[in-house]
Amino acid sequence: MENVVYFVHISDTHFGPTREYGRFGHVSYPCTVRLVEEINNLPVTPDFVIHTGDVVTDPDPAAYALAAEVFQTLRVPVYYVVGNHDTARDIRRYLTLGPHEPLSDDPDVLSYAFAVRGYRFVVLDARGPDEIDPHGRLSPQQLEVARQEATPDGPPLTIFMHYPVMPMNSPWMDANMLVLNGMELHEALLPARNRLRGVFYGHVHQSMQTTRDGITYTAVPSAFSQFTAWPTDVETGFDTNYPPGYNFIQLWPEQTIVHQHLFVRP
């Protein structure tokens, strides 16, 4: 059998300081507890879990303590991306990452790489200054990381980040949620398109796939509450009927399979 890597993509858990904390019309804690139970009981054990940001809503030690309590029950390594509601320092302080190699020595930047069975995974940090929030922006240093990683030759490569790169044809999302220099990142990644297995992100609380120039960008539903993203949405919308979810990803030497899973809200 060919070398295959399995991982679970989750995002936007938005823990609060209490188990009763709610946001966007739903309580986040019980949903993430159920999500971890789902992952631990999958018929195929993933190699790792990647959380693409917004672990918490506010940088509250109590919220991170709850997140750590829940995620430490996962039976596989967990990796985290800095969301616009997180900070790199807090993730390092309160959460445990799987084995990795840092790609930045800046304590306010969480960018690193890790390898599983010959596949390379790179986490980029696009959290910008507070004044552009909820947009993101990749620093010149992070764009250089992308350029150095995205060479034509090398092992299969996967990129993780928090923000969407490409416009989504949803007026409110495009006006507020994008990484502002996304095309610079896209151009940096183009040399690696033949070995790039995907760019995976969160932030949009919705399942989306965008393909451009042979590169596929994939978003995962939030672990507890979803936005709407219709071409008619000029203001933030909430899809109250859409359940929480996660994606089970299969990376093969020549292809990527994204299997979306939804689960019943507790």
Compute and round to an integer the Cα radius of gyration of the chain: 17
- Whether the pLDDT of residue 93 is over 90: the answer is yes
Q: How much is the pLDDT for 135?
A: 98
Q: How much is the pLDDT for 38?
A: 97
**Higher per-residue confidence, 23 vs 109:** 109
Mean pLDDT, range 86-103, rounded to an integer: 97
Mean pLDDT, range 63-73, rounded to an integer: 98
pLDDT band at 262 (very low <50, low <70, confident <90, very high): very high
Nearest to 75 by CA among 156, 8, 134: 8
CA dihedral of 225, 229, 233, 236, whole degrees rounded to 10: 30
- Whether the pLDDT of residue 183 is over 80: the answer is yes
pLDDT digits (tens, 9 = 90+) for 194-212: 999 999 999 999 999 999 9
Amino acid at 184: E
Cα separation, 1 vs 198, whole angstroms: 22
% of the chain with per-residue pLDDT over 90:
95
- Whether the pLDDT of residue 221 is over 80: the answer is yes
What rounded mean pLDDT belongs to the chain? 96
- Whether the pLDDT of residue 261 is over 90: the answer is yes
Q: How much is the pLDDT for 76?
A: 98
Please give the helix or strand (H or E) that residue 172 lies within, else none. Answer: helix 171-176
pTM higher than the cut 0.75: yes
Residue recorded with tokens 């980040």: 161
Q: How much is the pLDDT for 64?
A: 97
3-state secondary structure of 199: strand
CATH of 7-240, one of 3.40.50.11540, 2.40.50.100, 3.20.20.220, 3.60.21.10: 3.60.21.10
Mean pLDDT, range 73-94, rounded to an integer: 97
**Higher per-residue confidence, 25 vs 221:** 221
Cα separation, 97 vs 51, whole angstroms: 10
What residues are paired with 249 via a beta bridge? 7, 258
Q: How much is the pLDDT for 24?
A: 83
pLDDT band at 147 (very low <50, low <70, confident <90, very high): very high
Q: Where are the beta strands (DSSP E) in the chain?
A: 5-10, 22-23, 26-27, 48-51, 78-80, 101-102, 112-116, 119-123, 157-160, 196-201, 208-212, 215-219, 245-251, 256-262
Q: How much is the pLDDT for 241?
A: 85
Tokens of 155: 């092992």
